[in-house]
Amino acid sequence: MSKNVFLFSGQGSQYVGMGKELCEAYPEIKDMYDKASEILGFDLAEKSWNSEESELAQTNYSQPAIMMTSLAAFNAVKKGGVEFSAVAGHSLGEYAAMVAAGVLSFEDGFKVIKARAAAMQRAAENQHGVMAAVMGQTPEDIERICASVDGYVVPVNYNSAVQTVIAGEPDAMDAAQAKFAEAGAKVIRLNVAAAFHSKLMQPAADEFEAELKNMNVTFNKPNVAFFSNLYGKEMPDFDNMPEKLAKHIVSPVRFTSELAVMKEQGFDGYIELGPGKVLTGLVKKTLKEVNAVNVENAKTLEKALAEFGK
């Protein structure tokens, strides 16, 4: 029997229509959409299924919509008898992971993500940071080249041995991109609203931390192992969560480190819950002799249940 970890998708994975098939298959998922909509103040199902791509890409909509899709998939695989003993998320995905692990209730999870998305939306509107994926260089070489550039550009997402995302100021990014081209690396600019996980998001982190400290939400200890982007391993404790979650906004995502620790601990089943299959691809590129699948609709759910269900 495999030792499974549930992975939760990050921002940028959204697409119009995500989660609809799962909602149609499981009536209780519609109730989840309705509860989330009451908290958010807008119809989450309508935004997820019938909005324009450009509207859904706005942070204040994409974050709760992705989180809801992830939790819909979580509900479906649990009903199918898939067992898990750990969770992890990529950036935004850590919030769905907190709900799945019992750190936050469903309702508190959406209260928290509403505040996070609003703070990050405002910060994105007030800064002009950019992000890019770099392929063909080691993380250490990427760190060195970024450090050699005048201005602010830093690695922010350690996604796999062959891909690291960088973020920073536009001029510094242009200079870094030229140096990466000289070194033979491939650089792809990302269609995102801001330089996430960099110091340029500090206003969002400050606003979010202050909001969290005034919110009536409860953070519990997880009921399974919880792997953290902030530490690149299991979260050591769940004290001072407003401070930790604010720091998460401006700190690198150490996903490769998390995967290495999971593999060391014997996890061999990796089930990505949410739109797209980015994390599934990263697992396959990073780890050997493991089984990785994604769940986002009826077809992928059927495959996952065939491989991991009872």
Q: Which residues are catalytic?
A: 91, 197
Q: Report d(CA 233, CA 42) in Å as an integer.
A: 36
Supply the angle between the helices 106-125 and 202-214 in degrees, to the nearest 10.
150
Q: Report d(CA 307, CA 261) in Å as an integer.
A: 23
SS (H, E, C) 61-118: HHHHHHHHHHHHHHHHHHHCCCCCCEEEECCCHHHHHHHHCCCCCHHHHHHHHHHHHH
List CB contacts of 16: < 8 A, sequence separation 6 or more.
48, 49, 50, 51, 52, 53, 56
Q: Report d(CA 89, CA 96) in Å as an integer.
A: 7
